[in-house]
């Protein structure tokens, strides 16, 4: 029975707020019901995860997940809560003022992660920030080291955001592989947090034409590469090939 871990934004849909296509919905539903085990794993909050059938849904990189209707939270959430207290960020969503200037808190992320947006993000129309992303990231890294907090800080200069997690996709995937005693599983992804998870022993990396270059190279070398973008056909093609036994 094949097992599939799948990122959400950039793979199942182009970006947050964009509906899942009927083709992808049908492909995922058919696989999950008839062929294998499907997990969704995303850095986004649980409320942003699309309504698709899955054995487990991992949000906030796995610090929050749903299994049999129960929400389960990673104990490491205390690290993010301490960071929020130090930054004096107590609201779940919207523009906040910090000692570095204004930032946008993307929410609702309440437990094991915090996403800060800079500039003029398109999904917050009319909002603009004044804080410098590199300065804030440098301080967060130093803060985590001083207090020995388990925090992972990632950023994307294209969309000007910083993701702070107390658990990573790589840790979550490794834990599931061990817990379920899985020898092999596919991972469909497009960005750096997905690349790290693809390096877990037993993971078969699956990349698309919209995946970062490192994922494309890794998938071509030791996994499955599909020369189509994830949301616009690559995922459907992957499940078709899997169903037909061609991968």
What's the CA gap between 30 and 47, in Å, rounded? Answer: 24
What tens digit of pLDDT does each residue of 62-120 get? 888 887 667 777 766 778 888 888 888 888 889 999 888 999 998 877 778 888 999 88
CB 239 within 8 A of CB 27: yes
Domain segments of the chain as ranges: 3-73+168-243, 77-165
Number of alpha carbons in the 13 Å side-chain half-sphere of residue 191: 20
> With pLDDT > 90 as the criterion, what percentage of the chain qualifies?
52
Confidence band, pLDDT 50/70/90 cuts, at residue 155: low
Model confidence at 123, pLDDT cuts 50, 70, 90, reads confident
Report how far residue 184's alpha carbon sits from residue 165's, in angstroms, rounded to the nearest whole number.
26
Angular region, 130: left φ>0, alpha ψ -120 to 50, beta rest: alpha
What are the pLDDT digits (tens) for 189-210? 999 999 999 999 999 999 999 9
Q: What is the mean pLDDT of residues 224-236?
A: 94
Domain 3-73+168-243 belongs to what architecture? Answer: 3-Layer(aba) Sandwich (3.40)
> For position 207, what pLDDT does the model report?
98
126 pLDDT higher than 70? yes
Q: Convert the pLDDT of each residue in 88-100 to its tens digit.
A: 888 888 999 988 8
């Amino acid at each position: 029975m094949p097992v599939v871990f799948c990122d959400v934004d950039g793979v199942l849909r182009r970006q947050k707020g964009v509906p899942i296509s009927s083709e992808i919905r049908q492909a995922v539903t058919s696989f999950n019901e008839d062929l294998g085990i499907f997990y969704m794993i995303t850095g986004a909050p649980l409320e942003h995860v699309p309504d698709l059938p899955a054995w487990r849904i991992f949000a906030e990189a796995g610090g929050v997940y749903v299994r049999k209707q129960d929400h389960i939270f990673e104990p490491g959430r205390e690290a993010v809560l301490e960071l929020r207290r130090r930054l004096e960020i107590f609201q779940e969503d919207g523009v906040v003022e910090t000692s570095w200037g204004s930032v946008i808190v993307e929410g609702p992320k309440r437990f094991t992660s915090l996403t800060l947006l800079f500039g003029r993000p398109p999904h917050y129309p009319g909002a603009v920030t004044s804080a410098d992303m590199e300065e804030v990231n440098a301080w967060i890294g130093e803060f985590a080291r001083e207090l020995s907090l388990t925090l992972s800080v990632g950023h994307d200069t294209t969309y000007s955001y910083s993701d702070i997690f107390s658990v990573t996709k790589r840790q979550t995937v490794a834990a599931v592989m061990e817990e379920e005693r899985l020898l092999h599983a596919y991972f469909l992804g497009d960005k750096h947090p997905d690349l790290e998870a693809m390096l877990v022993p037993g993971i078969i990396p699956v990349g698309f034409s919209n995946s970062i270059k490192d994922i494309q190279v890794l998938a071509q070398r030791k996994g499955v590469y599909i020369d189509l973008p994830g949301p616009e056909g690559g995922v459907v093609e992957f499940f078709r090939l899997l169903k037909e036994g061609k991968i």
